[in-house]
Amino acid sequence: MVICQFIFDMKNQRARSKDEKQQRKEEILSSALDLLLKNGVVASAAQIAAASKIAKGTIYLYFTSKEEIYLTLFQKQWDPLFLQINKAISTPDLPIKEITATIAEYVVTNTFFLPLMIACSGMLGRSKDKEVIRSYQKILSKNLEESSQLLYKRFEIPPNKGINLFLRTYALVFGMWDVIHMPTIVKEVFREEQWTDFPKNYQQELQETLEMLWHSMLHT
């Protein structure tokens, strides 16, 4: 009897039409994002299901894993970034300073980008599933390869060097955020030792550092 009720509940929770399925997927994604922003960590499938008011098993009708959910969310932020980067690269005579400013502004103004980037990086660092890691690599490579071709057309640098530039850009976006947001006690000790003062304006520091990186790699 319990099993029958479970099957009945699952059928009721399963979306029927194409529009209903898409709406259910978006609800699951929204719940996963809300949990990440609230708790600061990737949620479990059970937590996402509870927040979405569906059975845990229903999650797997739409996504293979929690990793796929968060990678889908990351891609929704990653693809628009590269649309803007490609537009900037393809604009004749647009200075490198403006291209890197486009990156820094997007990263800062799109409030979901950094939390998802950090969460996915940590999630993949703990994963032993090669297929999950391969999915992440595909998200990155699709945009990196296209943008590297645009860099080649404009700056005449080999595509593999363009990909390296974007990977270093990715590292700087993450690393600069990590430095600026070090724990307060770390910053206090460093100041007491007169070792260094931490930058305060993430967008400005990121833009300036990216500009130096892009100039060095595009003009050598």
Which residue range forms the structural domain that includes residue 115? 67-218
Query: DSSP character for 182?
Result: -
pLDDT in tens, 104-146: 999 999 989 999 998 888 888 888 888 888 888 888 888 999 9
Number of structural domains the chain divides into = 2
**Under 8 Å between Cβ of 202 and 108:** yes
The CA distance from 193 to 187, in Å, is 10
Q: What is the pLDDT of residue 94?
A: 95
Question: Which two structure tokens, joined as six digits, stand for 156?
Answer: 């005449």
End residue of a domain, out of 23, 38, 63: 63
Q: What is the pLDDT of residue 122?
A: 85
pLDDT in tens, 147-173: 999 999 999 999 999 999 999 999 999
Tell me what percent of the residues of the chain surpass a pLDDT of 70.
Answer: 91
| Residue written as token pair 């703990």 | 126
152 and 53 co-located in one domain: no
Q: What is the pLDDT of residue 178?
A: 83
41 and 104 co-located in one domain: no
**Under 8 Å between Cβ of 108 and 207:** no
Q: E strands within the chain?
A: none
pLDDT in tens, 184-194: 887 788 778 87
Q: How far is CA 162 from CA 141, 189, 218, in A?
A: 12, 39, 9
End residue of a domain, out of 63, 81, 110: 63
- pTM for this predicted structure: 0.82
